[in-house]
């Protein structure tokens, strides 16, 4: 079962960083007219199928994951959710830098310059990362893993990394040292000691994959939420406007919007940061310096898919509004909201 729980009939609010997502999911909408199976090649005179709403929750990627879907029977709903959670687990196992035997960690531990044939998951996430790396001029860079490990270690000793440590780690950072060979699904690393950290893209990517799995099971009206990275398919049958997602910021302001066939993500520093000597360093760092950003921005992004929303939120966290025109040009229709707060070191 992989942690799939019984269907729940309420949708609890999910807190994430300093933005609270409250999914007001439509209860009491157990019966619907549209058929999940209608896109399949069903006979033309198929009777209407009654769809019920199901919600499942599980823990993956260090986060609470929930799946909301509409299906004709509990049996079908549970099987679909189980397959989707399995996919999230597969993405996590492939990408994690917390386990030395993950595919990502094994790939980077090969001798420098060795071609390594990789899974479709790892190749695809590297390929998407390459695009975001280029678009952001290196502000988004999953090779920051060495810096992240350095900061984790320093944090345990209640200090910040020394300049020497940062310079040393910088030798193993730089996505441009990764070469991708799409024709052969292989990759090679032209620097030694790289640690890939997909923290800024992995949850959005996993949500997209899970949504695809649900679709392949005939569940087009579905939502996947991985710790606040939310990917949505078709709208709920009872609400063609979409899934009602409300975003509440730290200062109490709240806005709400119905969304479907899109994704939403946030990045910020209120929940996940490191404070040392009166300075708050975000868990998102500037790959050019190896130091966590101190701008105190909360970024919300609505994009066509979770991979884009997740990555773009991190890019804007590093670069701020100056990068928005580039992103809007590359991803027409994308919506990016930045909330700034005084830098911690500038507060009275
Ligand atoms: P979360 O949703 O888990 O808060 P984000 O999407 O905001 O994560 O991404 C932050 C994570 O990405 C960090 O915890 C780290 O693992 C990784 N990371 C930090 N800085 C960068 C960066 N500049 N480029 C790519 N990944 C980063
Ligand atoms: Mg992100």
Between the two ends of the chain, the Cα-to-Cα distance in Å is: 52
- So what's the pLDDT on residue 342? 59
Instruction: State CA 118 to chain mean position distance.
Output: 21
Q: How many helices (H) and strands (E) does the chain have?
A: 8, 18
65 Cβ below 6 A of ligand 1: no
CA distance 65 to 333: 27
User: Which ligand 1 atom is at minimum distance from the Cα of 318?
Assistant: 23
Non-local CB neighbours of 35 within 8 Å, separated by 6+ positions: 42, 46, 48, 49, 51
Q: Ligand 1: does its nearest atom lie under 6 Å from the Cβ of 273?
A: no
The residue whose CA has the least distance to atom 9 of ligand 1 is: 200
Distance CA(308)–CA(221), nearest Å, equals: 21
Q: What is the distance in A from the centroid of ligand 1 to the CA of 34?
A: 39
What is the atom index within ligand 1 of the atom nearest the CA of 272?
A: 4
Separation of CA 186 and ligand 1 centre (Å) = 25
Q: What is the pLDDT of residue 165?
A: 97
Per-residue tokens: 310:
């997740």
Q: Closest by alpha carbon to 171, among 143, 199, 198?
A: 143
Please give the number of the atom of ligand 1 that sits closest to the Cα of 17. 4
At 348 the pLDDT is 41
User: Residue written as tokens 């709920």?
Assistant: 236
CB atoms within 10 A of CB 86: 17
Query: Rounded to whole angstroms, how far apart are CA atoms 213 and 87?
Result: 8
Instruction: Give me the pLDDT at residue 42, please.
Output: 38
Among 135, 176, 200, residue to substitute to test ligand 1 (most atoms within 8 Å of Cβ) = 200
Which ligand 1 atom sits nearest the alpha carbon of residue 197? 16
Nearest atom within ligand 1 for CA of residue 227: 2
CA dist 89 and 262 (Å) reads 22
pLDDT in the model for residue 286: 95
- 309 C-alpha vs ligand 2 centroid, how far in Å? 7
* CB of 89 closer than 6 angstroms to any ligand 1 atom: no
pLDDT attached to residue 249: 63
pLDDT tens string, the chain, 348 residues long: the values are 334 443 443 333 333 433 333 333 332 232 222 222 222 333 344 456 799 999 999 999 999 999 999 999 999 999 999 999 999 999 999 999 999 999 999 999 999 999 999 999 999 999 999 999 999 999 999 999 999 999 999 999 999 999 999 999 999 999 999 999 999 999 999 999 999 999 999 999 999 999 999 999 999 999 999 999 999 999 999 999 999 997 766 566 677 899 999 999 988 765 567 888 888 888 999 999 999 988 888 899 999 999 999 999 999 999 999 999 999 999 999 999 998 775 554 544
Q: Which ligand is nearest to the CA of 284?
A: 1
Residue 140 Cβ inside 6 Å of ligand 1? The answer reads yes
Backbone angles phi, psi at 160, to 5 degrees: -105, 155
Residue count (the chain):
348
Nearest atom in ligand 1 to the alpha carbon of residue 228 is: 2
Measured distance CA(216)–CA(80) in Å, rounded: 9
Ligand 1 near 218 CB (within 6 A): no
Tokens for 157?
């000793």
| Interaxial angle between packed helices 202-216 and 306-319, expressed in degrees from 0 to 180 and rounded to the nearest 10 | 170
Our answer on whether the CB atom of 268 is closer than 6 Å to any ligand 1 atom is no
pTM of the predicted model as reported, rounded to 2 decimal places:
0.86
Distance from Cα 263 to the centre of ligand 2, integer Å: 12
What is the model's pLDDT at position 247? Answer: 79
Q: Report which ligand 1 atom has the smallest distance to the Cα of 142.
A: 25
Query: CB under 8 Å to 145, separation ≥6 — which residues?
Result: 97, 194, 195, 196, 197
Mutate to test the pocket of ligand 1, among 284, 286, 307 (most ligand atoms within 8 A of CB): 284
The answer, yes or no, to whether any atom of ligand 1 lies below 6 A from the CB of 233, is: no
Ligand number nearest CA of 197 is: 1
């Amino acid at each position: 079962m992989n942690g799939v729980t019984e269907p729940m009939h309420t949708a609890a609010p999910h807190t994430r960083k300093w933005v609270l997502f409250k999914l007001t999911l439509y209860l009491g909408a157990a019966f619907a007219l549209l058929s999940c199976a209608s896109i399949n090649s069903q006979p033309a005179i198929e009777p209407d199928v009654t769809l019920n709403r199901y919600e499942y929750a599980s823990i993956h990627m260090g986060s609470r994951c929930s799946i909301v879907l509409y299906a004709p029977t509990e049996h079908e709903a549970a099987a679909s959710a189980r397959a989707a959670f399995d996919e999230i687990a597969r993405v996590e196992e492939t990408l994690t830098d917390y386990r030395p035997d993950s595919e990502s960690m094994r790939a980077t531990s090969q001798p420098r310059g060795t071609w390594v044939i990789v899974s479709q998951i790892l190749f695809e996430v590297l390929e998407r990362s390459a695009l975001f790396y280029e678009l952001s001029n290196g502000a988004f860079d999953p090779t920051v893993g060495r810096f992240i490990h350095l900061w984790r270690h320093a944090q345990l000793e209640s200090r910040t990394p020394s300049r020497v440590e940062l310079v040393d780690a910088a030798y193993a950072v730089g996505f441009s040292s990764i070469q991708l060979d799409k024709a052969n699904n292989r990759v090679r690393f032209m620097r030694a000691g790289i640690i890939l950290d997909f923290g800024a893209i992995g949850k959005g990517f996993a949500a997209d994959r899970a949504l695809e799995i649900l679709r392949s099971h005939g569940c087009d009206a579905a939502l996947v939420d991985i710790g606040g990275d939310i990917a949505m398919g078709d709208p709920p049958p009872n609400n063609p406007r979409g899934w009602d997602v409300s975003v509440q910021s730290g200062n109490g302001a709240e806005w709400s919007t119905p969304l479907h066939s899109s994704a939403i993500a946030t990045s910020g520093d209120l929940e996940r940061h490191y404070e040392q000597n009166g300075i708050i360093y975000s868990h998102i760092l500037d790959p050019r310096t190896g130091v966590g950003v101190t701008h105190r921005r909360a970024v919300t992004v609505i994009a066509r898919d979770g991979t884009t929303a997740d990555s773009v939120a991190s890019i804007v966290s590093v670069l701020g509004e100056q990068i928005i025109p580039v992103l809007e040009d590359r991803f027409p229709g994308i919506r990016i909201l930045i909330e700034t707060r005084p830098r911690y070191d500038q507060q009275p």
